[in-house]
Amino acid sequence: MTGRSYSGLFVSEGTSDEPLAERIEWLFLCQDVHVNLSRPDFSRLPKVAKDVASRVSAGLKLAGGPVDLIVVHRDADNAGRHAREQEIQAAVRTLRGTAELVPVIPVRMTEAWLLLDEAAIRQVAGNPRGRMRLGLPKPHEAESISDPKDRLRTCLLTAADETGRRREAVAKRFNQHRRQLLERLDPTGAVARLDSWCRLVADVDDVVKRWRSVGP
């Protein structure tokens, strides 16, 4: 045990990504390290720019001061993981103080992490016993999909197996369904076979080692 808990800040691309914070807290807890990641409510401040530095700065303000850990979620998109990692590091370099930094960079998008759990997709779509083929990717294919968001949207509609206005209603609930899938994301499931998830786990491991090296 580390003998203490750590404070943290989680800054995501959007509010629907906030459930990722709980998954990251779980990764730390697996190593007997308690991290409490605050999720800033930017609506409490005047308009906050969308760049990483502005959001982290505003998040620290809302958190009430320095934290032990800053976690920044940013999709790789077409830029790639390395470019996003450099972008995040440069953005928070002058803001982080002594805080550790963990970038969360799904490749290419967070939706790629959600395309591997057929049961969860069917459940969220409201048709858990459906038999329509969803065309889900295998784990080694997920990070190569050009538009995982569109693929997930299609899979949810197929899983719902609705027509007409009911199908339109399902389509309009995409953001809600996406958030529910993040809440159900199993860190020990198929996502654990993706390179971007493994990198996240490795970064968490490195932070824990550094914390333990200096003691409680």
What pLDDT digit, counting tens, does each position of 131-187 carry?
A: 999 999 999 999 999 999 999 999 999 999 999 999 999 999 999 999 999 999 999
pLDDT at 162: 97
> Could you tell me if 82 and 141 lie in one domain?
no
32-44: average pLDDT: 96
Q: Is residue 48 part of a domain?
A: yes
* pLDDT at 2 > cutoff 90: no
Domain with 201, as residue range(s), is 5-107+194-214
Burial (0-12, 13-18, 19+ Cβ within 10 Å), 29: exposed
**β-pair partners for 32:** none
Q: Is residue 189 part of a domain?
A: no
pLDDT in tens, 43-100: 999 999 999 999 999 999 999 989 999 999 999 999 999 999 999 999 999 899 999 9
Structure tokens at 25: 């807290």
Give SS3 for 8.
Answer: strand
> Could you tell me if 159 and 77 lie in one domain?
no
> Could you tell me if 143 and 167 lie in one domain?
yes
Burial (0-12, 13-18, 19+ Cβ within 10 Å), 144: exposed
Please list, in sequence order, all residues whose beta carbon lies within 8 angstroms of the beta carbon of residue 144, skipping any fewer than 6 positions away.
none
> Could you tell me if 96 and 17 lie in one domain?
yes
If pLDDT is split at 50, 70 and 90, which confidence band does 216 have?
Answer: low
The pTM of the full predicted model, rounded to 2 decimals, is 0.94
> Could you tell me if 163 and 115 lie in one domain?
yes
Question: Domain with 15 in it: what CATH number?
Answer: 3.40.50
* pLDDT at 6 > cutoff 50: yes
> Could you tell me if 174 and 199 lie in one domain?
no
CA distances from 180 to 122, 149, 174, 216 (A): 12, 15, 10, 36
Look at the chain and report how many structural domains it folds into: 2
> Could you tell me if 86 and 52 lie in one domain?
yes
Buried b (16+ CB within 10 A) or exposed e, 9-21: bbbbbeebbbbbb
CB atoms closer than 10 angstroms to residue 35: 26
pLDDT at 4: 79
> Could you tell me if 79 and 173 lie in one domain?
no
CB atoms closer than 10 angstroms to residue 125: 24
Q: Is residue 156 part of a domain?
A: yes
